[in-house]
């Protein structure tokens, strides 16, 4: 039954604790080579060892929301909200409303309605916890994973705005339809309105990475293919090594989870647009049109940092983005990138475009992976054209096992 089915009267109970979509139900989302398929009726399975929305084939739209706890919250009220979120998310990802619409004429409808006719559109809902959730307000200090220690101020972090950074809880909603992603976040925020308040929200209008080998590599707003060298869903052993938290964790509740770094990176687009193409390619170390390395070959040819031009210079500049971000320059460290292009319109002080990359990266340990790479990128030639303006770290718990499971159930110690 889709959202319209609910409207015509055959609905089930609201988004209470006991409500959930059938495990594994919905049309299974097959990996296909065709990016142009109509995805409106396709859904991503909700239950599994890992939350969907991480290595899931990257969808085209993002709505990311960060929340703070209200002062009155207790562990119990938080847990009820997380259980209601799980129940609601299991319905949303199948294209269903979060509750009946017309059962109580004197009450607002349980679902806000803007996605009634749209279908699941490969919606994924991914929930994470920020470091501040584990401060002394709820007494959860002993549940804090050491890997969730804040990253602190990194070398390039001179322009971070704290009002659009951090938060106690986050929701990442990704979908092929932007309105489906917005609807998910809006309705979950509504369900949680007595427990959390929105701290900041970011929309992404186009994917700037690829998470499967079957996807075409998209382009970021600097016009370059982005996501060529990324961890892909077809490499489960690589994901086990670099993305999923394993036995090394000091908090067993995070096993099967992952750590997410979100960074809003403003691009100085007008300056970039007046830079020579040869300099743009030097900065990335790749050819703009094809995405091929400057050392030669096609898009997916390995980078070769030893190849020199006739003047004896390496063809891939030593300060190029790909050289400094490459595993060979970072003790082998890899990350799963899942960023989105964004725009906030214009910067009214300067009349320039306020746009860039909402960078997202998943990994086993952000201190050893993201921060290591980012610190190495302190020398990046690209830095002249970008400024990070928000930075956050999230612990994303493992997937929900079955109906009746919810985000953080093990962490919060629910005994039923
Ligand atoms: C606005 C900021 C950024 C832009 C426009 C950008 C763009 C790109 C592009 C065009 C590539 C080459 C294509 C590819 O292999 O995907 C690339 C690769 C890469 N980027 Fe970025 N990037 C940005 C920020 C970052 C940040 C903050 C990090 C991590 C700290 C990062 C990590 C990487 C990694 C690991 C690679 C792959 C390197 C390799 O193994 O070849 N990027 N990026």
Domains of the chain (ranges; CATH) run 23-28+42-130+166-204+399-416 (3.30.70.100), 269-392 (no CATH)
Q: Which residue has the tokens 């079957």?
A: 214
Ligand 1 atom nearest residue 226's Cα: 16
Which residue among 231, 325, 360 is best mutated to probe the pocket of ligand 1, counting the most ligand atoms within 8 A of its Cβ? 325
* Residues flanking ligand 1, CB < 6 Å: 220, 222, 224-230, 263, 265, 267, 284, 286, 303, 321-322, 325-327, 335, 356-357, 359, 370, 373-374, 377, 386
Average pLDDT of the chain to the nearest whole number: 91
Q: Residue 122: its pLDDT value, please?
A: 98
Could you tell me if 353 and 404 are in contact, meaning their C-beta atoms sit under 8 angstroms apart? no
User: Exposed (0-12), middle (13-18) or buried (19+): which is 288, by Cβ within 10 Å?
Assistant: middle
Distance 226 CA to ligand 1 centre (A): 7
Q: State in Å: Cα 20 to ligand 1 middle.
A: 38
Residue nearest to atom 8 of ligand 1 (CA): 226
Kindly give, in sequence order, each residue whose CB lies less than 8 Å from that of residue 282, ignoring residues fewer than 6 positions away.
294, 317, 320, 381
Q: How far is the CA of 330 from the centre of ligand 1 (A)?
A: 13
321 CA → ligand 1 middle, Å:
7
The sign of the CA dihedral 367, 329, 257, 167 is: positive
CA atoms within 13 A on the CB side of 55: 25
Asked if 197 contacts 70 with a C-beta cutoff of 8 angstroms, the reply is yes
Atom of ligand 1 nearest to the CA of 335: 35
What is the longest distance spanned by two Cα atoms in the chain?
Answer: 79
What residues pair up with 172 in beta bridges, in sequence order? 64, 126
Which pLDDT score is estimated for 103?
Answer: 74
Structure tokens that stand for 101 in this block: 């619409």
CA 218 to centroid of ligand 1, rounded, Å: 13
Tell me if 42 sits within 8 A of 106, measured CB to CB. no
Q: Which among 269, 284, 275, 290 has a CA at the least distance from the CA of 352?
A: 269
Q: Which atom of ligand 1 is nearest to the CA of 386?
A: 1
Residue pair 51/44 in contact (Cβ under 8 Å)? The answer is no
Residue 350 token pair: 């300067």
User: What per-residue confidence (pLDDT) applies to 171?
Assistant: 99
Ligand 1 mean position, distance from CA 251 (Å): 30
Structure-derived torsion over alpha carbons of residues 303, 382, 65, 83, reported in degrees to the nearest 10? 30
DSSP string covering 63-92, please? Answer: EEEEEEE-TT--HHHHHHHHHHHHHHHHHH
Which of 155, 204, 216, 226 should be mutated for ligand 1, with most atoms under 8 A from CB? 226
Question: What is the per-residue pLDDT across 273-321, written as a single tens digit (0 to 9) for each?
Answer: 999 999 999 999 999 999 999 999 999 999 999 999 999 999 999 999 9
- 27 CA → ligand 1 middle, Å: 33
Contact yes or no for 390/263 (Cβ under 8 A): yes
pLDDT digits (tens, 9 = 90+) for 141-162: 999 999 999 999 999 999 999 9
**pLDDT tens, position by position, 392-405:** 999 999 999 999 99
Q: Which tens digits make up the pLDDT trace of 133-142?
A: 999 999 999 9
Rounded CA-CA distance 49/247 in Å is 15
pTM over 0.85: yes
Q: Closest ligand 1 atom, CA of 285?
A: 12
344-383 pLDDT tens trace: 999 999 999 999 999 999 999 999 999 999 999 999 999 9
Q: How far is residue 358 CA from its own chain's centroid?
A: 9
What is the per-residue pLDDT for 10?
29
Residue nearest atom 36 of ligand 1, based on CA coordinates: 325
Question: What is the CA(227)–ligand 1 centre distance, in A?
Answer: 7
CA of 152 to the centre of ligand 1 (A): 21
For the chain, percent of residues with pLDDT exceeding 90: 88
Q: How far from 118 is each of 40, 183, 308, CA to CA, in Å? A: 7, 11, 53
For residue 34, give every residue at least 6 positions away whose Cβ sits within 8 Å of its Cβ, in sequence order, or none.
Answer: none
Let me know: does 117 contact 8? Beta carbons within 8 Å: no
């Amino acid at each position: 039954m889709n959202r319209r089915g609910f409207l015509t009267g055959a609905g089930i109970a609201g988004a209470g604790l006991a409500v959930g979509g059938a495990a594994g139900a919905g049309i299974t989302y097959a990996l296909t080579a065709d990016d142009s398929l109509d995805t409106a009726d396709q859904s991503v399975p909700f239950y599994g060892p890992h939350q969907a929305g991480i290595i899931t084939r990257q969808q085209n739209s993002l709505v990311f929301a960060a929340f703070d706890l209200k002062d009155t919250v207790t562990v119990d009220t938080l847990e009820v909200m997380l259980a209601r979120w799980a129940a609601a998310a299991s319905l949303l990802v199948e294209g269903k409303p979060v509750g009946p619409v017309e059962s109580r004429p004197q009450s607002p409808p349980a679902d806000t309605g803007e996605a009634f006719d749209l279908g699941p559109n490969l919606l994924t809902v991914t929930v994470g916890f920020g470091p501040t959730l584990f401060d002394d307000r709820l007494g959860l200090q002993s549940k804090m994973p050491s890997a969730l220690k804040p990253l602190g101020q990194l070398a390039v972090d001179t322009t971070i705005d704290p009002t659009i950074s951090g938060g106690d809880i986050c929701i990442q909603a990704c979908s092929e339809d932007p309105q489906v992603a917005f609807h998910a976040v809006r309705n979950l925020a509504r369900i949680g309105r007595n427990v959390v308040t929105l701290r900041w929200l970011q929309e992404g209008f186009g994917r700037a990475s690829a998470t499967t080998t079957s996807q075409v590599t998209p382009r970021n707003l600097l016009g370059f293919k982005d996501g060529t060298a990324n961890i892909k869903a077809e490499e489960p052993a690589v994901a086990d090594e670099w993305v999923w938290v394993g036995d090394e964790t000091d908090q067993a509740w995070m096993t099967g989870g992952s750590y997410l770094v979100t960074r809003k990176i403003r691009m100085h687009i007008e300056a970039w647009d007046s830079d020579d193409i040869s300099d743009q390619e030097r900065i990335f170390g790749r050819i703009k049109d094809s995405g091929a390395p400057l050392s030669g070959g096609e898009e997916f040819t390995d980078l070769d940092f030893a190849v020199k031009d006739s003047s004896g210079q390496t063809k891939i500049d030593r300060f190029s983005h790909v050289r400094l971000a490459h595993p060979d320059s970072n003790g082998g460290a890899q990350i799963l990138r899942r960023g989105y292009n964004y725009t906030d319109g214009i910067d009214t002080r300067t009349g320039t475009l306020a746009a860039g990359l909402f960078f997202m990266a998943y990994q086993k340990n952000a201190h050893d992976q993201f921060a290591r790479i980012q610190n190495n990128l302190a020398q990046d030639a690209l830095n002249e054209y970008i400024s990070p303006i928000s930075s956050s770290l999230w612990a994303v718990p493992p997937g929900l096992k079955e109906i009746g499971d919810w985000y953080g159930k093990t962490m919060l110690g629910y005994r039923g």
